Structure 1
Amino acid sequence: MTAPVTRIPITGEGAYDVIVGRGILDLVRDGLGPAVKKVLVVHPPTLGAIAASFRESLLGDYEVLLAEVPDAEAGKRVEVAAFCWQVMGQADFTRTDAVIGFGGGAVTDLAGFVAATWLRGVTLVQVPTTLLGMVDAAVGGKTGINTNEGKNLVGAFYAPSVVVEDLDVLTALPRNEILAGFGEVVKYGFIAEPEILDIIEADVDRATDPSTEEFRRLIELSVAVKARVVSSDFKEAGLREILNYGHTLGHAIEHAERYQWRHGAAVAVGMMFAAELSRLTRSLPDAQVDRMRAILTSLSLPTTYPGGRWPTLLATMQRDKKSRGGMLRFIVLDDLARPSVLQGPDSSLLFAAYQEIAS
């Protein structure tokens, strides 16, 4: 194992560690524990060979089955979850057995949901293999699948026993996949940790290179922000809402694009919309809005969306799980690292903010 290893604790309900390092897949055993006999490894087709090798490393200690599921959002369907349940049922999985999510954010969302619902909950270990999965989806205990009406409308809060983030698995990812994950990284910078923004602005090439210390630092800072928030608000009763900055419009864009857009790209546009809304309602300084646009552009992330799509996006947002009693809620910025909730904004304000990002 390559040292050092960073352990970032998540406390409170369902406490566990997020472990960051290189060459650390063996630490998955820490989360399985002595009672586990059977393990289901849920993975996408693109990781078939790596998942098979990972399975071999666990054999001898466990009976290991592989469940290959569709990549990205196509895998987050009830039919795919039912396939996983079927595999577990036919293999006689008990409540003391385990599920491992081995893939990107969509896979860890699905695997978490399967683990949460099989026999009302079995051991879950998350092994995110994308930047987005490492800084967001696999951390925090949110699990879910999509429906025809929207993203993540069915799900459960369910904590893993450990999250193992091996940075070595990122070295083979295409650069555009790495950049897409930076939408969430930038979010953490604007809502809570400005050092993230400083690192990206200082040298964007080193910041986005998985082999550098700058890249590792960005992951650790991002996970630390999420850990602090989730530790105090596991089920999103209050503070955790700030993690939704950019997500209300972002999820609507993903739905409109039939999930052909990467999550980080949709969130990037959503953040720009939220920044413009913040400028209108919270007097967010122009310099911060411009800074956000410049950073996202340096990462080749989009900052605009077609103007004619507004009515469709608005209708989708009104069904969003973050709404309360039919009233739209947005996370906005009072200033850098000062997020707050904007509830029930006037439709004219929303339209005006959208016009600022309309292409």
Structure 2
Amino acid sequence: MPSVDVELRGEFDNSYEITVNYDIMNEVVSDLCARKFGHTPVVICDENTRELFGLNLADKLALKDIDPLLLTVPAGEHSKSIDVFGSLLEAMLEAGITRQDVVVALGGGVVGDLSGYVAGSYMRGINFVQVPTTLLSQVDSSVGGKVAVNISGGKNYCGMFYQPKRVYSDISALDTLPEREILSGLGEVVKHGFIYDREFVEFLHDNAEKILSLDKTVMPKVVARCCEIKADVVSRDEKEGGVRRILNYGHTVGHAIETFAGYKISHGECVAYGMRIVARACNKAGMLSDEELKLHESVMDKLNLATGCLDIETSQIMELMKRDKKVKQGAVVIVALDKLGNAVVNEDFPLEFIEAELLDFE
């Protein structure tokens, strides 16, 4: 099974390895027992991953005379809050956790983002590892070190760049997910192809049926390729000062939809709608050709992504986009496509084309 190296050798060496495998939890236990990353593991999970993985992980560690601190948060985006963040810090302090210990993020993107922010803040930073259990977190949010919580004004407004020491992506965990969670992850999967690798887009198109059935010969390749693409981008721009911004394709519109919906639509679903809308707008703006747009649409259709209408108000989505973190001197920054596999950051994209496409989804 593949592994991916994330090379981050700037002022400090923040490099780490991503391991992609089936039934990887035994390797997680082995490394934690060897005190590879810290003394006492603080395992943070949500109510779902506690039952699916957390209790079993704690039992296995206990058999090796390691007593982890198992902390559980409610499932869902609303746990990415200042209040939950503070409660975790207080629980760690009360348990006597020190700088010599390690945070283990066991769950999806919410748990990973929240846990990473906790690890980066506690005593000015302690080690943490990612054990992503959803497709979205395996291909995207567990890689690259962007950790955060939400505030009432928007998503991920309070956060930092804080890299994990290692990422363990257990493909077998995907079998526990409902279909909607798989589709959410596929939104980020196709994004990586659209912005960086046309051949990968064609692979996704030709293998859509196998991907939807979580075929064991295909899924490790899908997860690993997404990690390779993101690792390559992040290694050239760790803190989003340049090329890393292309990873936000579909996100400016998607985050606005997500915020408007009160996080009742998953992140990946919102990004998928954002990509549909921006790709069509790029075509109208004379960037993405008709042929390239046709393939973009076909891949999304085959993977059942962003296929219906939304309960949105276009005028409010446009206003929310103006509050996006990536707004530069009042201008909404859009990641656009010149062609499949080539994304560009556009600071003067004609927003009227996006507005027109949004209206089609109302």
Question: TM-score, normalising length from structure 1?
Answer: 0.93
Q: Bigger CA drift: 152-161 or 63-72?
A: 63-72
* Structure-1 separation of matches of 2:199 and 2:212: 15
Partner of 2:49: 47
Partner of 2:16: 16
Q: Bigger CA drift: 109-118 or 71-80?
A: 71-80
* Structure-1 separation of matches of 2:199 and 2:351: 35
Partner of 2:201: 197
How far apart are residue 173 of structure 1 and its match? 1.4
* Structure-2 separation of matches of 1:235 and 1:326: 21
Q: Aligned with 2:2: secondary structure?
A: strand
Letter in 1 for 2:21: G
Letter in 1 for 2:7: T
Partner of 2:3: 7
- RMSD over aligned CA atoms reads 1.8
Contact residue 99 and residue 122 of structure 1 kept, 8 A: yes
Partner of 2:291: 287
Paired residue total: 354
* Structure-2 separation of matches of 1:35 and 1:171: 28
Identity across the alignment (%): 33
Q: Aligned with 1:114: secondary structure?
A: helix
Q: 1:304 to 1:273 in 2, by over 3 A?
A: farther
Letter in 1 for 2:42: L
| 1:57 correspondence with 2:53 | no
* Structure-1 separation of matches of 2:234 and 2:287: 28
- Quick one: which of 291, 300, 304 aligns to 1:300? 304
* Structure-2 separation of matches of 1:53 and 1:300: 34
* Structure-2 separation of matches of 1:277 and 1:260: 25
How far apart are residue 303 of structure 1 and its match? 4.5
How far apart are residue 170 of structure 1 and its match? 1.2
- Structure 2: unaligned runs, 5 residues or longer: none
- Structure 1: unaligned runs, 5 residues or longer: none
Partner of 2:313: 309
Letter in 1 for 2:203: I
How far apart are residue 310 of structure 1 and its match? 1.4
| 1:154 correspondence with 2:158 | yes
Contact residue 199 and residue 214 of structure 1 kept, 8 A: no
Partner of 2:324: 320
Partner of 1:358: 361
How far apart are residue 290 of structure 1 and its match? 2.4
Partner of 1:265: 269
Partner of 2:110: 106
* Structure-2 separation of matches of 1:307 and 1:169: 32
* Structure-2 separation of matches of 1:132 and 1:322: 22
Partner of 2:243: 239
Q: 1:280 to 1:211 in 2, by over 3 A?
A: closer
* Structure-1 separation of matches of 2:37 and 2:198: 43
How far apart are residue 78 of structure 1 and its match? 0.8
User: Any residues of structure 2 matched to 1:124-273 within 5 Å, and which?
Assistant: 124-273=128-277
